[in-house]
Structure 1
């Protein structure tokens, strides 16, 4: 064979390998082509047609939204509008009930100098209720948690937070569980309600504050309403899911016995879906607790006030101690609701003797609780929480001293990390997304949407981008999108590393999962505290706080996906001599790519929920617009436009990743088959 022919064969083989690589991962190569083309166009057109406007500019759309908010506020302040009058009446009724609860537990009703029930009665009631719904082991968590609230110096604020959380959750469950039942049994209702729930869950928590403060003013009524609306979607969606997953065989068996629809629901469906419904209640409690903290911006009572006041004044010790109380409350409520889902099964295992013993303990506990409530009503020592031991003051001072030490000794190191990250990564990515001509960025996003999620993702993305353009905040939306994508990329990297380790090792899972559980219960303000100490207020701080908030849920999803790869597939790969690295990259990660995309989806939404909070610490973008609209009445219209824009961004990102996960899941199923 001649040298020329040998070269031709080599060239053909190389071309065949390239074609094979492209055919093996066509979407990946298509994405790479879009990004490369985008970078080439950006390098020539940077800074042209970006639709950037100044922070003080208000366009016609913003003024129209301003006029609309003014007209709605006027309608709610008058008695002529029936809907406004009904909503105001409902809010006033809830405010009255909550005020009564405060007089009962935390606020002295005039002329009495102390609340009706003091700390001793409150702790006794909490212990009795916990034993009744979750068992004695949880009493050992709940009672010390209440004592810590007092010893840390935030008894009243902590109880107020629990009151507004549990009060909102109770109403959310009364409304949400029946609606979830209705969705599970009616495709029409499900088709109508699901998009509404999507919008409610996509909207970042802080965005709710602006319209509710317009409608109901500043105070407990608005805080209760916003907490209720934000917390209701999880219990609706998860209750419907639990009822849909009840075995059809069981339902057919009950139908053969002649049971009616109501009997089947009460005696079969709800008991079988009970554990899933309680998971929904748990998620509703976590959402209500997070919003009850954020609602401090509209004068909502509770622990949010000292957290925000400490952040505003740079007193991070105050914010840390109050934030610690929030974490304690979150862990306590999370563990109690989780244990309550298992109590019925534990009672069945305990048998008749266990049930008799439990009734005796409940009866004795009820008597003891009544005595404690009476003492806390008539005795000052049992009403006002004792001032000693004071754990809050030394802890607060220690955190402030430690923060000063970090700023003094690590400022050069942390500044170097922040500056290098911002200069070499964040700024170039933001320039590509926000400084490209708006139509170039729009086309690139549409192409990415169709490659990842298909035609349905393309349609949703086109609608959302059109809405963002019409709201006249395109540039700020792209700045926010950059921060969200960068934070999500970091979240996914961390989640893959930790998730693979957890999925492959039970020991690693047991060691890491408690930290993830605790991380999932942390309300969004709390991660800001240590990051602000280290890096100060800037975009980098907002991104790191969002990463801390989003990593737990993404990591759990990746770990579950890795763990879900069949042992037979792993054994087959090992039999071929695959190394550990090859097993992870060639088998487990490809087989779990549906879980990876779902983890990306949830990481995106969690990061997006931190956008406005990031706007308070120098992140700019849409978060800054919302905060400014909230604080300055003349910018309410622009703030509302920014809130709607964030919702559109959230829906767009959610649809791209959700439909992408569905496509990857279908590929995964075909591969397994």
Structure 2
């Protein structure tokens, strides 16, 4: 007869091996955090100073001046008085219900996270578009980043940098950056090959083709990626509030733990209002840019 006693021992052996692996990895990460945590924190100090400065700028500037600047930026991007009126009404309602300061804090961190995502994501997307090897390496990483539960991002970041704004920014950027990378890669790859061949025939270098032909033609797709990145960053606001990121997420978290329905509803609606504003403005800007590009080509 075949000895099957090992079958009953196998689960215990697997659990012991798994426990040993987990303890080894946890110990290695703790050692890494103690050795390099302070250096990494110092590396992010300029970003922290900029974020604090920008947040204080929004909070200390008179509300009417901030509101005028926001409406002015919306009009410059969209040339739509209707959209400007909607933005004005939304921010007046936010101020009336006492959510102005939290909204400014959320606006500051979303703006910083979006700028970081664009500055990091677009070059990576360009690299993926120009190199099939880079795309084959980066695509699985993006798959992991998009499918990993948002709470999981907080664990290594908090262990490394503690609780505060910078861990929140890092977690938000990791969660929100995949769309702008994917759609930058897609937009550049979808540029008409005949157009690229024509540019090459006129003597354009690869850099000139990239910045003069591919990126302008891919801009609507890139803007769609930026739009999705902003939406995902806003969706991460409540989760980031768990590690000390101030803003609209903290009242929502407080309302969940204390069952304050109205508090959670109002702050949730403020987040929705920001999301709709960013969505409409970015889409309108992308349409205007596309029309301008088509007009230039026809001319």
- In 2: Cα distance, 1:167 partner to 1:267 partner: 27
Which residue, 13, 18, 34 being the options, matches 1:74? 34
Matched, 1:203 2:148: yes
Partner of 1:326: 271
Q: How does 1:201-240 map to 2 (within 5 A)?
A: 201-240=146-185
- In 2: Cα distance, 1:216 partner to 1:274 partner: 36
Q: How does 1:74-473 map to 2 (within 5 A)?
A: 74-78=34-38, 85=39, 87-106=40-59, 115=60, 117-136=61-80, 137-346=82-291
- In 1: Cα distance, 2:37 partner to 2:294 partner: 57
Deviations 1:530-574 (A, max 9, x none): xxxxxxxxxxxxxxxxxxxxxxxxxxxxxxxxxxxxxxxxxxxxx
> If the length of structure 2 is used for normalisation, what is the TM-score?
0.88
Shift of 1:59: 3.6
- In 2: Cα distance, 1:199 partner to 1:349 partner: 37
Deviations 1:278-304 (A, max 9, x none): 000001101111123210000012111
Tell me: CA distance 1:67–1:189, structure 2 relative to 1, closer, same or farther (3 Å): same
- In 2: Cα distance, 1:272 partner to 1:92 partner: 37
Shift of 1:152: 2.2
Tell me: CA distance 1:327–1:186, structure 2 relative to 1, closer, same or farther (3 Å): same
Deviations 1:427-460 (A, max 9, x none): xxxxxxxxxxxxxxxxxxxxxxxxxxxxxxxxxx
Tell me: CA distance 1:349–1:232, structure 2 relative to 1, closer, same or farther (3 Å): closer
Deviations 1:47-81 (A, max 9, x none): x99x79xxxxx943443343233213212345xxx
Partner of 1:442: none
Deviations 1:564-593 (A, max 9, x none): xxxxxxxxxxxxxxxxxxxxxxxxxxxxxx
Report SS of the residue matched to 2:236.
Answer: helix
Question: Does the 8 A contact of 2:172 with 2:240 survive in 1?
Answer: yes
- In 1: Cα distance, 2:294 partner to 2:211 partner: 23
Deviations 1:246-295 (A, max 9, x none): 11111111111111111111111111101000000001101111123210
Q: Which runs of 5+ in 1 are unaligned?
A: 1-47, 53-57, 79-84, 107-114, 352-673
Q: How does 1:528-547 map to 2 (within 5 A)?
A: none
After the TM superposition, which parts of structure 1 deviate over 4 Å for at least 4 consecutive aligned residues? Answer: 345-351
Deviations 1:582-633 (A, max 9, x none): xxxxxxxxxxxxxxxxxxxxxxxxxxxxxxxxxxxxxxxxxxxxxxxxxxxx
Partner of 2:15: none
Question: Does the 8 A contact of 1:91 with 1:225 survive in 2?
Answer: no
Report SS of the residue matched to 2:247.
Answer: coil
Q: How does 1:518-537 map to 2 (within 5 A)?
A: none
Tell me: CA distance 1:169–1:279, structure 2 relative to 1, closer, same or farther (3 Å): same
Q: Which runs of 5+ in 2 are unaligned?
A: 1-7, 13-17
Shift of 1:347: 5.3
Partner of 1:14: none
Shift of 1:350: 9.8
> If the length of structure 1 is used for normalisation, what is the TM-score?
0.40
- In 1: Cα distance, 2:37 partner to 2:216 partner: 45
Partner of 1:438: none
Report SS of the residue matched to 1:273.
Answer: helix
- In 1: Cα distance, 2:271 partner to 2:138 partner: 32
Partner of 2:4: none
Tell me how many residue pairs correspond in the alignment.
282
Deviations 1:400-452 (A, max 9, x none): xxxxxxxxxxxxxxxxxxxxxxxxxxxxxxxxxxxxxxxxxxxxxxxxxxxxx
